[in-house]
Amino acid sequence: MDDASIQQALRQTDDLLRLRNYSRRTRDAYQNCLRAYLRHKDASAQVCSPENVGAFLMALYDRGAASQTVTLHFHAIRFYYRDVLGQTVHIPWKTPKRPQRLPVILSRDEVEHLLSVVKNKKHYLVLALSYGAGLRVSEAISLHVGDIDLDELVVTIRQSKGRKDRRTVLPEKLKNDLRSLIAGRESHEYLFESNRGGKLHERSAQKLFDDSLKSSGIKKDASFHSLRHSFATHLLENGVDVRYVQELLGHANIRTTQIYTHLTNPALKNIKSPL
């Protein structure tokens, strides 16, 4: 397929995604998936062939792509044919079941130790607030000064995953440091600006966590998202109802939140090995 046809298909898809208020992240992901598909030797920009789509998806599997990646390609291709071109589409593809992996959790002592090695005050607040409020990395770097309510100890996350606003708790321990950080600043400014001004890059925040983890000597295969996992787990350990934890995390389905209950089962922790 020629590049002009591919570019036209990508423009049409992105226009419709924007009209439907899809996030920039989703739009970029769909563009990348659709571009890969349309460059496939049997792909057509005009007519959907279920057999060709299936062959493309199986080729992704054969190259070692994760089930989530293959599923994302499937949704992008279906969106193009069904929603952009208006075709009646039946692709006999069953979304593969995701492997059930427990999230990597840091203990309370490990979180405290991780934060203790961070000497830069702004860097400390990025990690401490992400843990203390249960934030995704994208949410932490997107916070504005006006999203922080020090009097009510509330953080407002605007238009996050699922294009929804939500509110979560602000740790009282960080109140004075945050007050100093936002003093004299306008509400529209990013809370954690980069050194060059403007929004802190997501990769920079992730590297900050990785460097802090390495400095702490903690050997777990943790990521920035482990701070959010740990927030949820520690709340449940404190006896907070799982429905409140769901609301603080912004999960649409409580089953997503309930995975943390597998990590907080006191009966399991009390069982001693027979060895």
For the question of residue 251 being annotated catalytic, the response is: yes
* Residue 25: exposure state from Cβ atoms within 10 A (0-12, 13-18, ≥19): exposed
Give me the CATH topology for the region 3-84: DNA polymerase; domain 1 (1.10.150)
For the question of residue 90 being annotated catalytic, the response is: no
For residue 118, give the nearest of 233, 235, 211, 3 by alpha carbon: 211
Q: Provide DSSP, 126-190.
A: HHHHHHHHT--HHHHHH-BGGGEETTTTEEEE-S-TTS--EEEE--GGGHHHHHHHHTT--TTSB
Q: Which residues pair with 193 in a beta bridge?
A: 199
For position 118, what pLDDT does the model report?
96
Spans in the chain with pLDDT lower than 70: 1, 95-99, 162, 266-268
For the question of residue 228 being annotated catalytic, the response is: yes
Q: Of residues 73, 136, 229, 234, which has the active-site annotation?
A: 136
pTM: 0.73
Domain limits, the chain: 3-84, 108-266
Q: Of residues 123, 229, 234, 251, which has the active-site annotation?
A: 251
For position 114, what pLDDT does the model report?
97
Q: Of residues 35, 40, 78, 225, which has the active-site annotation?
A: 225
3-84 shares its CATH topology with 108-266: no
For the question of residue 201 being annotated catalytic, the response is: no
For position 233, what pLDDT does the model report?
94
For the question of residue 75 being annotated catalytic, the response is: no
DSSP state, residue 87: -
Contact 205, 141 (CB under 8 A): yes
Q: How far apart are CA 194 and CA 179, in angstroms?
A: 19
For position 267, what pLDDT does the model report?
65
Q: Of residues 123, 228, 229, 234, which has the active-site annotation?
A: 228
Q: Of residues 113, 161, 167, 199, which has the active-site annotation?
A: 161
Question: pLDDT digit string (tens) for 214-265?
Answer: 999 999 999 999 999 999 999 999 999 999 999 999 998 888 888 888 777 7
For position 97, what pLDDT does the model report?
67
Q: What's the CATH architecture for 108-266?
A: Orthogonal Bundle (1.10)
Contact 141, 200 (CB under 8 A): yes
